[in-house]
Structure 1
Amino acid sequence: MVMRADIGVIGGSGFYSLLDDAEQVEVTTPYGPPSDTITIGRIGSRSVAFVPRHGRDHRFPPHRIPYRANLWALRSLGVRQVLAPSAVGSLRVEYGPGTLVVPDQLVDRTSGRVQTYYDEGGAVHVPFADPYCPTGRALAYAEAEAQGWDAVDGGTLVVIEGPRFSSRAESRWFSSNGWSIIGMTGFPEAVLARELALCYTTLALVTDHDAGVETGEGVTQEEVFAFFAANSERMRTLVGTVAASLPTDRPCPCGTALDGINLPFELP
């Protein structure tokens, strides 16, 4: 019997302890294997599938993550709503480490990443004006506020190619555009989720000020990993609460994103 889930979580390996009655399942996709074995368990009455974005041993750098396989695998297991916790840098002085941003916009500054399922069989133009699920965003912000986070409702996440961090000049340019936070993994995750008619919500934990904002020696990998690890239990609690609160009927427009579009193949 194939295990099923209706909510997916894509995050760091620290989220394994999020689930009760967890079991691991191997999933194959037309785009190769996902980042790692998928774990399915429960949060309250909800069935949740978790995939470690970088692999459990963090073997995939941001530009090598099998994004298409990860999202396809989740959908094939029944997932229709995805929560995506991540670590980000801040492009604004007022958003210090520990701030929880629930972005409503996204800017892609990556290069060379495959960002669509529909590269053969005819053009498929998916609407992406508002990249994130409005229902998931509202719930995430409300739960963060209720749990005492320094929470920010909205803002623009700019996604860079990585794996290096930004130069000061790049960072200042991003900030001058009015963008709020910076990361390396939020794209193409968000657009691939939309191409599969999935709800997708990012919960972005600020771990540092980006190079153009702070006055020290610039951000380091050690600093980012240490801060996120120190806050992992708190993030697990937030993600778990949001997952348990997501509606089962999906009153948002995400599920109808592909309506009226002639797809070149059948979705799982």
Structure 2
Amino acid sequence: MQHIPAADAYCQTLRGLMVDSLRELAEPHQSTGVVAVINGPRFSSPAESAWLASAGCELISMTQYTEPILAAELNLGFATLCYITDADTGHDGSEPVTAQLVFERLRAAQPRISSVLSLLLSKLGAGYSPEQRVAPEAVAAVLDASVLDASVLDGTSCGS
């Protein structure tokens, strides 16, 4: 664990190419926003949804917190393409969300999602290099260490 700043956890190069791809394909999108990450797998309650909306959150997700931070700690580029499947718990008058609804909408959107990702990959090119947020030798030490060799209980850490 590198304890890096989380304010800009996503790779700005990948994010920019993703937004360019969405624009080029004329896909409706919002290129910025505030996401709340909840523990899953589950859907939020009406009270949670109202609370998160009042805090300025525009999107609720279960998979956007640990992944970008861990990727950044290893100097891996990371961007997220979120496909909105539902209006959460139905607090806006819509039908409450179900897993079946989410999976049906994702299946229907799969060709569009694949097109965006294919275009993004074609734009990426061989010269892509993610932002180096952690010294390469620190990343190497983390990757070389065995989990059994490090303990927060006895004061040792990976690579010490």
TM-score, normalized by length of structure 1? Answer: 0.49
What's the CA shift for 1:259? 2.3
Residue 203 of structure 1 deviates from its aligned partner by 0.5
What do residues 16-42 of structure 1 show as CA deviations (whole Å, max 9, x unaligned)? Answer: xxxxxxxxxxxxxxxxxxxxxxxxxxx
C-alpha RMSD of matched pairs (Å)? 2.2
Check the 8 A contact 1:127/1:257 in 2, yes or no. no
**Deviation sequence 1:3-58 (CA, Å, 0-9, x none):** xxxxxxxxxxxxxxxxxxxxxxxxxxxxxxxxxxxxxxxxxxxxxxxxxxxxxxxx
Residue 197 of structure 1 is matched in structure 2 by 75
* Larger helix fraction of residues: 2
Partner of 2:113: 235
Q: Deviations over 1:137-156 (max 9, x none)?
A: 11111111111211111112
1:47-66 to 2 correspondence within 5 Å? none
Which residue identity does 1:265 align to in structure 2? Answer: A
Letter in 2 for 1:255: E
**Residue identity opposite 1:141 in structure 2:** V
Map of 1:188 onto structure 2: 66
Cα 1:148–1:218 change in 2 (3 A) is same
CA distance in 2: counterparts of 1:263 and 1:230, whole angstroms: 39
| One-letter code aligned to 1:153 | S
Partner of 1:177: 55
TM-score scaled by structure 2?
Answer: 0.80
Find the residue that maps to 1:186 and give its secondary structure: coil
- Aligned with 1:136: secondary structure? helix
Q: Given the superposition, is the C-alpha separation of residues 260 and 224 from structure 1 closer, same or farther in structure 2, using an over 3 Å criterion?
A: closer
- Match for 1:159: what amino acid? V
Q: Which of the two has greater strand per residue?
A: 1
Matched, 1:265 2:141: yes
Identity rate, percent: 33
Q: Distance in 1 between matches of 2:113 and 2:30?
A: 15
- Structure 1: which 5+ residue stretches go unaligned? 1-117, 119-123
Q: Is 1:142 matched with 2:20?
A: yes
Amino acid at match of 1:207: T
Runs of 4+ with deviation above 6 angstroms: none
Provide closer, same or farther for how the CA distance between residues 255 and 142 of structure 1 changes in structure 2, counting only shifts above 3 A.
closer
Q: Deviations over 1:204-248 (max 9, x none)?
A: 000111126431441111111000100101111110110111143
> What do the CA deviations read for 1:80-132 (whole angstroms, capped 9, x no partner)?
xxxxxxxxxxxxxxxxxxxxxxxxxxxxxxxxxxxxxx3xxxxx322322011
Instruction: Kindly state the Cα deviation for residue 157 of structure 1 after the two structures are TM-superposed.
Output: 1.9
Equivalent-residue separation in structure 2 for 1:238 and 1:146 (angstroms):
9
Deviations along 1:176-207, one digit per CA (max 9) or x if unpaired, are 11111111122211111011101101000001
2:155 corresponds to: none
